[in-house]
Chains A and B, each alone.
Chain A
Amino acid sequence: MFWHILAQPELWAATLAMATPLALPALGGTFSERSGVVNIAMEGIMLIGAFFGVYAACLTHSAWLGMLGGIIMGAVMSLIFAWVTVSIGADQVVVGMGVNIFAAGLTTFLLNMIFGYGGTPTSTPHLPNIHIPGLSQVPFIGPVLGQQNVVVYIMLLAVIASHYFLFHTNLGLRLRAVGENPQAADTAGINVWNMRYLGVIIGGMLSSLGGVYLSLGLLNSFEPNMSSGRGYIALAAMIFGKWTPFGSLGAALLFGFSTALSMYLQGTGNISTNIIQMLPYALTILALVGLVGRSTEPAADGIPYEPNK
């Protein structure tokens, strides 16, 4: 019975679909924390991206411009976050939580103000699913990989690009350096604040793309609080993935798989729905209590940098 479920390509397609909105913010968090700024604001930034994505798509009648709008607003929100945490040196966890609460309130308020209680227009365009010719015909692989939303492929490319950027370029090395030892990096002539701004803003853009995927990729509408806690699970995925792009992707895939599996297991056999629904969350806790050994955060993560100290 169980093996039969694993052999269904739809399960793996659902895994990938559910992993994408976790992998993108996890990747975003990785950028921010690698530069030394603890970022728990992914949930809020996702909501910002999701809402402004739909809003821009409905203003411009283009899903692509909508995506751009969502990412830009995610970057703007991150800019504010970076300004408060990096330039002013406020507590990063407190400000991150503030961003989450603010984003939830702001997006619901704007939804009601702009669109009314009936929700966003049903004519809002959405980002296309890509049918890769040839690949779609291959049995098993086809239904899994051949017809996903375009953002899923963007996510996979972003993971590879982020790995290359962080570990194989000078700029990536500098970004990591200010997250490990900002004093030394400063002495070596790296502008610590600029690097941290860069990390937070790239992170915000990736997180908001995760929100755009929910609202314009999977759907074409915005619902209040539609990120539904994914930003926090992404936080766990980032830590579980040891602050690396491939690690984050792997963790997101694991959480995505458990979500998809819980969808499949329901209604089969006599296991209680409530227990099955616990699966992704139980796995999060198990992962965080160190199932895969120690994960060490960047040394200067969470400490505001003051040059003269």
Chain B
Amino acid sequence: MKRSRLFGALAVVLILTLALAGCGNTGTTPNTGDTAKKPDFKVALVTDVGGLNDHSFNYLANKGLEKAKADLGVQTAVVESKQMTDYESNLTKFAQEKYNLVIAVGFLMHDAVAKVAKQFPDTKFMIIDSEIKDQPNVSSALFNTEQCGYLVGVMAGAMETSTGIPNMLGKNTVGVVGGMAIPPVNDYIAGFIQGAKSVDSNINIIVKYTGKFDDPAGGKTTALTMIGQGADIVFHVAGGTGNGVIDAAKEKKVYAIGVDADQNYLAPDNVITSALKGVDTATYSIIKATKDNQFKSGDVFFNLANDGVGFAKPIKAVPDPVVAKVNEAAKKIKDGSIKVSNEMPAGYGK
């Protein structure tokens, strides 16, 4: 008994020592109650259950908040929701503390925002990726991600029809790994398919869903099966699962396309570009507008025309004519001569 107690204590000490030693670069940490220059304007960010390390919209929203803090001198607070039932209480807490703007990240928070916004008409709310109508104090940031999906689709399609690119398998096949078949994922994929088919209607596009956003091991195995079937460019719309997809491309020395943020850092030679969703710029611009008394309720669309979505700078392996083709498509989307639908083309995403 005595000895086992000693072991127990030893184990706890070991865990704590390990926890205190640092390793790698420490990223940004959330800030609460900073005594900045203008403490009169307070902004709070409530994440959904994905948390700040989702490599995706929660992470980007926090980035936009950090920028607003640095550039505009606003006072900021961040809280990560541990479960769905926390949304309402987290939002209410900041509204009660008289925050000027409360930002809710993700379409999962729709109901909570709609309810809390009614109770606190003097507080401004912003929700990302969901639409709340007819509520004068709520602004909904919506992204036309089918447009950036289309552009990386054009890039993938044009890569397949080009010759002389190293490491291509020459089977005119690309793969898409989705997290779940839900609108925020399928918008991207619908655009991607239309874009790739606009270059060559015979291109073979394999679309698979892993059913999870937190399973990189499953993502990698799925991507490996696609590469085994001849896919040499894999596009992922799968959050944390997608890290495995990029890792598969890296291991098999083929190409990957990242999503939401520029994910080239995950595999610099393999991630040719990323479909960007400017959650950070959207967050920043709405904070700025609210601070300047230009808060607009209702839908605020972020698309190619206002740089709300886009694609990351392609790596050198992408030939210039391919990039030119993508830029041309971007121009045509902006001037309206190409319309991208967010409906899945027939035969996909069933």
Residues of A within 8 A of B51 (CB): 108, 224
Residues of A within 8 A of B225 (CB): 10-11, 14, 260, 263-264
> Is A76's beta carbon under 8 Å from chain B?
yes
> Is B224's beta carbon under 8 Å from chain A?
yes
In chain B, what residue has the closest Cβ to A75? B11
* A121 and B217 form a contact (CB under 8 A): no
> Is B33's beta carbon under 8 Å from chain A?
no
Contact check: which of A17, A118, A273 meets B181 at CB < 8 Å?
Answer: A273
Interface centre among A129, A218, A221 (most CB of B within 10 A): A218
* B53 and A259 form a contact (CB under 8 A): no
Residues of B within 8 A of A14 (CB): 221, 224-225
* A117 and B62 form a contact (CB under 8 A): yes
* B207 and A122 form a contact (CB under 8 A): no
In chain B, what residue has the closest Cβ to A110? B19
CB distance from B78 to the nearest CB of A (A): 10
Residues of A within 8 A of B28 (CB): 116-117
* B212 and A114 form a contact (CB under 8 A): no
Contact check: which of A58, A221, A226 meets B215 at CB < 8 Å?
Answer: A226
A226-B8 contact, Cβ under 8 Å, with A10-B224, A115-B23, A121-B25: no
CA separation between A133 and B4, bound complex, in Å? 47
* A59 and B21 form a contact (CB under 8 A): yes
A267-B207 contact, Cβ under 8 Å, with A59-B23, A115-B24: yes
* B52 and A218 form a contact (CB under 8 A): no
Interface of A is mostly: helix
Residues of B within 8 A of A92 (CB): none
Contact check: which of A10, A110, A115, A197 meets B27 at CB < 8 Å?
Answer: A115
> Is A79's beta carbon under 8 Å from chain B?
yes
CA separation between A198 and B175, bound complex, in Å? 47
> Is A38's beta carbon under 8 Å from chain B?
no
* A114 and B240 form a contact (CB under 8 A): no
B-contact 0/1 string along A207-220, CB 8 Å cutoff: 00000001000111
B-contact 0/1 string along A78-90, CB 8 Å cutoff: 0110010001000
CA separation between A114 and B19, bound complex, in Å? 8
* B7 and A83 form a contact (CB under 8 A): yes
Residues of A within 8 A of B29 (CB): 112, 116
Q: Say which size band chain B's interface belongs to.
A: 35 or more
> Is A266's beta carbon under 8 Å from chain B?
yes
Residues of B within 8 A of A62 (CB): none
A-contact 0/1 string along B1-29, CB 8 Å cutoff: 10011011001101100110111111111
In chain B, what residue has the closest Cβ to A281? B211
> Is B266's beta carbon under 8 Å from chain A?
yes
Residues of A within 8 A of B62 (CB): 117
* B53 and A219 form a contact (CB under 8 A): no
A-contact 0/1 string along B219-246, CB 8 Å cutoff: 0111011001100000000001001100
> Is B267's beta carbon under 8 Å from chain A?
yes
A115-B212 contact, Cβ under 8 Å, with A122-B267, A224-B51: no
* A117 and B228 form a contact (CB under 8 A): no
CA separation between A129 and B220, bound complex, in Å? 14
Residues of B within 8 A of A270 (CB): 350
> Is B247's beta carbon under 8 Å from chain A?
yes
Contact check: which of A21, A52, A111 meets B53 at CB < 8 Å?
Answer: A111
> Is A272's beta carbon under 8 Å from chain B?
yes
> Is A55's beta carbon under 8 Å from chain B?
yes
9 more A-B residue pairs beyond the given contacts A77-B11, A224-B214, with a C-beta to C-beta distance below 8 A = A10-B224, A55-B23, A80-B12, A118-B25, A218-B221, A221-B247, A226-B215, A226-B240, A264-B225
| Residue positions of B touching A, CB distance < 8 A | 1, 4-5, 7-8, 11-12, 14-15, 18-19, 21-29, 51-53, 55, 59, 62, 181, 206-209, 211-212, 214-218, 220-222, 224-225, 228-229, 240, 243-244, 247, 251, 265-267, 348-350
> 8 closest A-B pairs (Cβ-Cβ)?
A116-B27, A10-B228, A228-B215, A223-B240, A277-B211, A266-B208, A121-B24, A118-B27
Q: List 12 A-B contacts (CB under 8 A).
A: A14-B225, A17-B224, A52-B18, A76-B14, A83-B5, A110-B19, A114-B24, A117-B28, A122-B266, A214-B216, A218-B247, A224-B240
